[in-house]
Structure 1
């Protein structure tokens, strides 16, 4: 099990909370786990604990710290879902990327190398793509990232490998957005897209009604193999 720890911002003038899970032995690589709009909840913490069980240092920054303390919401509770949407409307994504970059720097220092990847879900899937474009992250994975079709103008800045998991029946990423992602990224030498027919947003959530266990296991296996290759 991991613990919440305070991490300095890039500017060094403030601290923000991160859930950090460490492996039993020495970690040779690290994974930044990027939250959904529901915060660093039990599902995100479970994903960190899983990565730690595989030998990685895992860090999940609380990206909503500037607008709400200790966000921990349940997607299956309608009132909490609405709260999450409201927080998303207040969230500064550019500042979020800077907090992810601070987490990357912490991971690099702790493991003593640049073998740091990131994996994000929903909002985090979008931020994982942005992280690939804007930082020196060595491998990035996004699950059902929202609005990536509007970020394709940044794809020229992708220097390291990216994998995106796209559920074809995603209620938050319509078919035309998915088509634009394929048109813009299928020929990119660093990007690999996987489609999941008939599946909706959130299919790889650790807990709750959204999860499709078979598809989640397939996507997670692909992600584990991806990091094993590119963070070796």
Structure 2
């Protein structure tokens, strides 16, 4: 299964790209896939394709287009440095506008959830607290969430953490759950980036368990 590129328009008129993966039949719901600092690269496109395979209308918005159109990085040291520099240039209010535009597109399938990874995991938390139009959100290793805890999510949310994440301490990982006790929090005996099967950080067992929990969560809140 493969998707297609399309153009989206945010509420402020900004136009940007999105990668859309459509299910074979009638979609069960919509899901917005939010990328890491590497943009909508081959891994994120493959994640969207998988969700389409599970029956969702999946869209991965190019939320870095405001600062670097068409961002599509690999995982080398230079890529990491570039992604880290670019993420500091993104305004959260602009990011939420772009994520909402992707959500509005996905809403043709019914209810819409968010699944975000790393930077996208933090963006999922921010959008859950500030955005509109979403029924639930899932964050994978959103290591910057402790810096943007307020406002807390207004929709059901699930957090996945690798307890040995080198980018954030276990104590910091606990803070979102304390601030929003209704949020479902799961820890895995691994580190950062454990869902990405294109990196040495990949941990298959943790990725499979987190995936099943995520699908159950989406099934519950997007039905």
TM-score (norm 2): 0.94
For the Cα contact (< 8 Å) 2:57–2:106, is it kept in 1? yes
1:11-160 paired onto structure 2 within 5 Å: 11=12, 13-75=13-75, 77-108=76-107, 110-111=108-109, 113=110, 115-136=111-132, 137-155=134-152, 158-160=153-155
Deviations 1:108-134 (A, max 9, x none): 1x22x3x10000000100010111111
For the Cα contact (< 8 Å) 2:35–2:119, is it kept in 1? yes
Q: Which runs of 5+ in 2 are unaligned?
A: none
Q: Which runs of 5+ in 1 are unaligned?
A: none
- SS of the counterpart of 1:27? coil
1:30, 1:144 → 2: CA distance?
Answer: 22
- How far has the Cα of 1:175 moved from its partner? 2.4
Could you say if the C-alpha distance between residues 28 and 179 of structure 1 is closer, same or farther in structure 2, counting changes exceeding 3 Å? closer
Deviations 1:88-108 (A, max 9, x none): 122222211110011111111
For the Cα contact (< 8 Å) 1:21–1:58, is it kept in 2? yes
- SS of the counterpart of 2:216? helix
Match of 1:209 in 2: 200
1:83, 1:151 → 2: CA distance?
Answer: 22
2:178 is aligned with 1:179: no
Segment of structure 1 superposing worse, 27-36 or 167-176: 167-176
2:158, 2:32 → 1: CA distance?
Answer: 15
1:14, 1:127 → 2: CA distance?
Answer: 18
Match of 2:222 in 1: 231
Spell out structure 1 runs of 4+ moving beyond 4 A.
none
The root-mean-square deviation of aligned C-alpha atoms, in Å, is 1.3
1:126, 1:34 → 2: CA distance?
Answer: 9
- How far has the Cα of 1:178 moved from its partner? 1.6
